[in-house]
């Protein structure tokens, strides 16, 4: 049985980042528990098939956090250890941003603000088909600076997309600083409520609370889209990365890799 253990998934992210000598570790770490709960309890993939016709859709609009989703796909058996070890290297299919050509990734994202609009379109199509499939779209809080997010929110509310849940990774940072310093977001629950969403706020690292909030949102407002504002910590799980925005761009060296893996409770690399 797949358990989606967050510590093991963070180790997988570290393995990928170290193997590929690449970045975006901290912004992957902040969504680990959110993805854990979604994959463990909510996302439906008939026959464990990432392309199944009746599947639910997970749209990672903050595509630079894709290593966290790859870690989930590894847990499901969709990716092998060899995929993890070849991440970001010549010839690999696994790039540093979400790419819809990879089974399990629904959108090509990275140009921020656009993935959510794609998710709105998917939800509208599913509603018109009359299916019970759900769409979850994960955005970063810095991504909310982009106008297409709010255009998509207007469309979602107008078409009463009750099958759509927006999840905001509210870690307080974006590429060049804190969200408050770059462009303050104000009261996000109030904003999304004013746009016609059923809205809740939750600790984005408390798995039980996340699960309960998701269930509560689906049970409420049968004609409204949903918004879950998840308070998270960028770099969560490794003390020297937590709330240190340099880890948006910093690459692991042998010493920092070993220290991070050890702090997660694993003495060595993925085998």
Residue 269 is assigned to a structural domain of this protein = no
Residue 16 is assigned to a structural domain of this protein = yes
- Which residues form the domain of 99? 6-263
Q: Using one digit for the tens of pLDDT, what is the confidence trace for 63-102?
A: 999 999 999 999 999 999 999 999 999 999 999 999 999 9
Residue 88 is assigned to a structural domain of this protein = yes
Least Cα distance to 42 among 34, 51, 53 occurs for: 34
- Identify the pLDDT of residue 3: 81
Q: Which pLDDT band, with edges at 50, 70 and 90, does 19 fall under?
A: very high
Residue 1 is assigned to a structural domain of this protein = no
Give me the CATH number covering residue 17: 3.40.50.970
- Identify the pLDDT of residue 267: 75
Residue 186 is assigned to a structural domain of this protein = yes
Q: How many domains does the chain fold into? A: 1
Residue 271 is assigned to a structural domain of this protein = no
The Cα 112–Cα 116 span in angstroms is: 9
Q: Using one digit for the tens of pLDDT, what is the confidence trace for 21-71?
A: 999 999 999 999 999 999 999 999 999 999 999 999 999 999 999 999 999
Residue 176 is assigned to a structural domain of this protein = yes
Residue 243 is assigned to a structural domain of this protein = yes
Q: Using one digit for the tens of pLDDT, what is the confidence trace for 176-220?
A: 999 999 999 999 999 999 999 999 999 999 999 999 999 999 999
Q: What is the pTM of this model?
A: 0.96
- Identify the pLDDT of residue 268: 60
* Phi, psi of 57, deg, nearest 5: -115, 130
Rg (CA), the chain: 18
Q: Which pLDDT band, with edges at 50, 70 and 90, does 270 fall under?
A: low
2 or 120, which is more confident: 120
């Amino acid at each position: 049985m797949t358990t989606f253990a967050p510590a093991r998934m963070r180790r997988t992210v570290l393995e990928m980042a170290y193997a590929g000598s690449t970045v975006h570790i901290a912004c992957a770490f902040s969504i680990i528990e959110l993805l854990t709960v979604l994959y463990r309890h909510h996302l439906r993939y008939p026959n464990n098939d990432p392309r199944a016709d009746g599947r639910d859709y997970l749209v990672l609009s903050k595509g630079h956090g894709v290593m966290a989703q790859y870690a989930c796909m590894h847990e499901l058996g969709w990716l092998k250890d060899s995929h993890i070890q070849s991440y970001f290297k010549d010839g690999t299919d696994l790039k540093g941003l979400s790419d819809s050509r990879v089974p399990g990734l629904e959108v090509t994202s990275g140009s921020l603000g656009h993935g959510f609009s794609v998710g709105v379109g998917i939800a509208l199509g599913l509603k018109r088909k009359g299916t019970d499939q759900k769409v979850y779209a994960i955005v970063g809080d810095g991504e909310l600076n982009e106008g297409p997010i709010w255009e998509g929110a207007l469309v979602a509310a107008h078409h009463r997309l009750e099958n759509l849940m927006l999840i905001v990774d509210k870690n307080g940072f974006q590429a060049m600083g804190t969200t408050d310093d770059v462009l303050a977001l104000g009261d996000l629950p109030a904003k999304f409520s004013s746009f016609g969403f059923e809205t809740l706020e939750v600790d984005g690292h408390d798995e039980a609370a996340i699960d309960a909030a998701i269930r509560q949102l689906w049970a409420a407002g049968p004609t409204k889209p949903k918004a879950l504002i998840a308070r998270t910590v960028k770099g969560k799980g490794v003390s020297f990365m937590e709330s240190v925005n340099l880890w948006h761009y910093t690459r692991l060296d042998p010493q920092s890799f070993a220290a991070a893996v050890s702090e997660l409770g694993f003495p060595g690399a993925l085998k």
